[in-house]
Structure 1
Amino acid sequence: MISLNQLVLGYQGRAVTQPLTGNIAKGSMTAIIGANGTGKSTLLKTLLKLQPPVAGQLSFTGGKAPRIAWLPQLAEMDRQFPATVYDVVCMGSWPVRGLFSSLNRQNRKRIADAIERVGLTPLTKQPIETLSGGQFQRMLFARLLVQNAPLVLLDEPFTGVDSQTSDFLMTLICQMHQAGQTVMAVLHDNERVSRHFPQVLLLTQDHFHWGNTVDVLPHYCKSSINLALSA
């Protein structure tokens, strides 16, 4: 689905990664791991074309990017925006039906089904500013379900939510993958990565490791130990 060829990530021309080369296969499920400041979120934003790469090439199969469902970090979300749970989940249908097209019966059913699937039906008309962290994240996952995009990018999807909600959301991610969607997620929980993600991209300040989780994860554990010892 995606090919990286000597791709250097960064901001305003300043590199934060070494050149990355590799492929993201259609239908794969990849965890992006590494210390803070190594370019994990920057990679997702580069795939979204929210910021250009410093150098190298990024290409998509067929020459065109697929529809992408994007879950940013909770810290980047405006929780004071005057909207209800239904309003936010409804936004997931915009890429297909258009911004100014009215909802048809099929759209409304998909939205209602997604809200029910994440357990927020009683809160459908609730203002988003009143939601707890876990409820807010469930709402954003409902929007992802409505989008049903071929490529799903998740930036720290479990930050700020309780363990029960995290396990529930992890189940949804696995179901997306089983349905054929390509999933890439920035994560910090090695145990969760080891249990659920077949592929890992490890970013460090000096290099990267990309491949099967059983092969790559030990490199992350080793680098974490080295950082702790140097501190």
Structure 2
Amino acid sequence: MVSLDNLTVSYHQHPALHHISGEFLSGSLTAVVGPNGSGKSTLLKSIMGLLPTSGGNIKVSVPGARMAYLPQVAEIDRSFPISVHDCVLLGCWQQQGPWGCVDDGQHARVSAAIDAVGLNGFEQRPISSLSSGQLQRVLFARMLVQDADLILLDEPFNAIDSKTTAALLGIIAQWQQQGRTVMAVLHDDAQVRRHFPQTLLLARELVAWGPTAQVMTEAHLSTARAMAEAWDEDAELCAIDASSASKGAPRDLLRVGV
């Protein structure tokens, strides 16, 4: 579904991801884990095309209309004056565009999605009145309506209650059973081991990628922590990938001493 080939992504010449290669197979359910600042959110945004790459390639086997992305809750403007129903209805955007009419069938899908996340009776409430858990349910309902093949979730369970987490994990399990490809940035190691068959462990560089039991070992987690702590933000910059630079592409600027 997604192939990464020597992927490097930098912010102001500071690499957030450094030469990552591997594949997310179609129908896989993968947790993306690592210390703070290890490039987890950057990876999802890069796959979605929201960030430019500094080097390497990303290949996605589905068009953008078949991709769904859930950003961190902190990135969402909750003051925007929109109701629960209309927020979920935005899941039809890829199909209808800004001027298309929503038919009865799509309204039925919206109602079914709101019911699936347990928010019956909340349809006309403004999203500004919702708790963090309720808002996350709304955003999952929107993705249910979107009906994407590739689903990217950035910290979907952050600051929400255990009941909501269990309900949303149930929806993710259904997506896997339907053959959809799901990636989720997570911080709860026990949750990863219990619910996610595949894991990608990052520390700006690739530490381990594969079956969760083989990745989430103390040795790998210790390596990731050590790599994160050893990263020198003040080290001298060095320019590499001269072949890309010679073709007019931006140079891949990495930190020395990693």
The 5-angstrom pairing of residues 26-175 of structure 1 reads 26-61=26-61, 64-65=63-64, 67-175=66-174
CA distance, structure 1, for counterparts of residue 55 and residue 144 of structure 2: 34
1:124–1:66 Cα change, 3 Å? closer
Q: Which amino acid aligns with 2:166?
A: D
Contact 1:11–1:54 (CA under 8 A) maintained in structure 2 = no
Deviation at 1:114, TM superposition (A): 0.2
Q: CA RMSD in A?
A: 2.0
1:183–1:206 Cα change, 3 Å? closer
1:209–1:166 Cα change, 3 Å? same
Q: Deviations over 1:31-81 (max 9, x none)?
A: 00001111000000000101111110111237x556111110000000000
CA distance, structure 2, for counterparts of residue 113 and residue 3 of structure 1: 34
For the pair shown, the structure with the greater C-alpha radius of gyration is 2
Deviation at 1:12, TM superposition (A): 3.8
Contact 1:6–1:19 (CA under 8 A) maintained in structure 2 = yes
Q: How many residues align?
A: 229
Secondary structure of the corresponding residue to residue 49 of structure 2: coil
Aligned-residue sequence identity (percent) comes to 43
Deviation at 1:98, TM superposition (A): 2.0
Query: TM-score with structure 1 length normalisation?
Result: 0.93
Deviation at 1:135, TM superposition (A): 0.6
CA distance, structure 2, for counterparts of residue 53 and residue 110 of structure 1: 36
**Larger mean Cα displacement after TM superposition, 70-79 or 3-12:** 3-12
Contact 1:66–1:151 (CA under 8 A) maintained in structure 2 = no
1:11–1:221 Cα change, 3 Å? same
Secondary structure of the corresponding residue to residue 215 of structure 2: helix
**Larger mean Cα displacement after TM superposition, 52-61 or 151-160:** 52-61
Deviation at 1:220, TM superposition (A): 4.4
Q: Which amino acid aligns with 1:31?
A: A
- Find the counterpart in structure 1 of residue 24 from structure 2: 24
Q: Which amino acid aligns with 1:121?
A: N
Contact 1:3–1:21 (CA under 8 A) maintained in structure 2 = yes
- Find the counterpart in structure 1 of residue 197 from structure 2: 198
Q: Which amino acid aligns with 1:175?
A: Q
1:180–1:207 Cα change, 3 Å? closer
The gaps in structure 1 that reach 5 residues or longer are none
1:189–1:77 Cα change, 3 Å? same
Contact 2:203–2:224 (CA under 8 A) maintained in structure 1 = no
CA distance, structure 2, for counterparts of residue 13 and residue 66 of structure 1: 31
- Find the counterpart in structure 2 of residue 222 from structure 1: 222
**Larger mean Cα displacement after TM superposition, 156-165 or 65-74:** 65-74
